[in-house]
Chain A
Amino acid sequence: MQVVVLVKSIPDPSGEAKLGPDFLVIREGDGVLDPGDEYAVEAALTLAEASGGEVAVVSMGPANAASAIRRALAMGAHRATHISDEALRGADALATAKVLAAAVRRSPFDLVLAGVESTDGYTGTLPMTVAEMLGVPSATFARKVEVTAGVARVERQTEAGYDVVECALPALVTVTASAAEPRFPTLKGIMSARSKPLEQLALADLGLSPAEVAPTQRVVAVEATAEKGPGEVIQAGDDDAARIADLLAEAKVI
């Protein structure tokens, strides 16, 4: 089974995201593999190992996305495609979907996996836009994925619980943290990642023009919200339970 994973390099999520004067997120320094995508890489490796298939990683991003891609290779992915182009700076989800769909289409695939949403942008619609462009069925929010005889069986998280969904391959599935426990790259994995095929593509290689990836949305203003001002902070032991209960009484809930 050929599994493709869509991955994103994001600024270190432990830092605070900053916007530049053009209202675009500043992406300096090495990016990291989006933690949400690690679950998708792990699920892909597990499925490919069980079926004797291979895992390909596809990512769009600036040059510093390479370290995130290398991490996916170090985890065990077999090859990667990195699409980078000056014309893609500030690309929105639609443009990104066009690029990723065009890259995925270049090779046969059985299953495309992705995280539910990126940890820096939270847009959460991109995998479905890609699925529609590829013309394949999909299941989002998978907490469990199994593939038997060309059919993916997915436990899909819902607001109320979960659904069981079956989906004929080829298909696209987005996975949650419950779907897999990401492996830590071994030293051997890190070493072998350096010699795995990493294809570098520009927009033109995918037959796309800059006009086709021009953003359709634009930040026009950023304003700080009125901070309501810090409340009171006390140390544990200073009648903490009584103080919290006073607040609950003030709110008329006890």
Chain B
Amino acid sequence: MAKVWVFTEVSADGTPAPSALELLTKARSLGDAEAVALGPGATASAAALGAHGASTVHASDDPVFTDHLSQPAAHALHALVERHRPNLILFASTHDSRDVAGRLQARTGSALMSNATDVVSPDLARTAIAGGSQLVDVALEGPVPRLILVRPKSFAAEPSGGTAAMVPVDVEIPEELRRARRLERHEETASGPKLEEARVVVAGGRGLQDAQNFALLHELAAALGNAAVGASRAVVDAGWIAYSHQVGQTGKTVKPEVYLAFGISGALQHVVGMKGAKRIVAINKDPDAPIFRLADLGVVGDALQVLPALIAEVKARRV
């Protein structure tokens, strides 16, 4: 039976990242699922990881894995790979996991696939290209373990009711791998629900014309209640709104009940982060904007004219 590992990010309080539970749910359908968790909280996360299908959790609470970027984690993971020879390692498409996977590949010389949306078998994975209009099956060859980075929310996490054996990770981290040091962490917290959890996402792009007009999106989100504000990469790059609002390839993946896109053209980079929404509404001046191909309801017009009217309408209906 194939040995399938899930590289798990954990919070210091022992909560595994939601993506780890999604990946374990998939991993146990592919073979014997195990998890590797490195950094403070790892040991405490074993119960939740076991309950989602990990038979073994390789864990270390050593802060070296969070105080220093990528090199200690890649080194420890490589040592474990040499010892236990997994067939496949699944990673979530996050900044930290992507870094570890890229470094591990240099050492193992194995195939690495990014942005997978499904894993068919330990050597076949699937991804979407051209804004999700085409699915591509990629065969992974060469040495094991094969490495796959999976987009968030590709699978639904389901508990297995199992328990995991906890195996401490005892890999020495050399001093020369501690040269990139994390000195400070800053969280840019927004009010209201988290982007990934909101039932409605109201997102804005270049069509909003000015950073100040994002106030209208915030007003609409507040009027709706369980809504969060999203943004396209173009406006994040332009500095109109913080990166934590970015939806898309290099930002967050959302699957709300309704996604409202104001002045967003629908570049591939954006679409991969929101096409899983149950209902999509697009408002754009350009009738040929690709976003209309995805929209259940499209409005050809100026987002800045539609927004105030919609805010008033939502407020009136919610009274």
Q: Which residues of A contact B (CB under 8 A)?
A: 16-17, 23, 92-94, 97, 116-117, 119, 122-133, 137-141, 143, 156-168, 171, 176-178, 216-225, 227-228, 230-237, 240-245, 247-254
Contact = CB atoms under 8 A, between A and B. Distances in A.
A253 B250 contact: no
A129 B105 CA distance: 6
A161 B298 contact: no
27 contacts: A94-B109, A94-B112, A122-B114, A124-B98, A127-B102, A129-B102, A139-B180, A140-B95, A141-B95, A159-B244, A160-B188, A161-B186, A163-B182, A163-B184, A165-B69, A167-B69, A176-B243, A176-B250, A216-B109, A219-B136, A225-B128, A236-B283, A236-B306, A240-B310, A241-B309, A247-B279, A249-B317
B287 interface: yes
A244 B260 contact: yes
A250 B297 CA distance: 13
B94 interface: yes
Nearest to B147: A125
Given A125-B149, A231-B298, A167 B181 contact: yes
A232 B297 contact: yes
A166 B109 contact: no
B262 to A, nearest CB: 11
Interface string B303-319: 00110011011100110
Interface stretch (B23-31, B43-51, B82-90, B137-145): B137-145
A127 B70 CA distance: 12
Contacts of B226: 253
B103 interface: yes
A231 B139 contact: no
Given A221-B136, A241-B310, A138 B185 contact: no
Contacts of A223: 134-135, 137
B133 A225 contact: yes
In this complex, the member of A128, A225, A228 whose beta carbon has the largest number of chain B beta carbons within 10 angstroms is A128
A254 B133 contact: no
Contacts of A125: 98-99, 101-102, 105, 112, 114, 149
A179 to B, nearest CB: 10
Given A139-B69, A171-B179, A251-B257, A164 B301 contact: no
Contact of A17 (B71, B74, B130, B295): B130
A234 B298 contact: yes
B185 A161 contact: yes
A177 B300 CA distance: 30
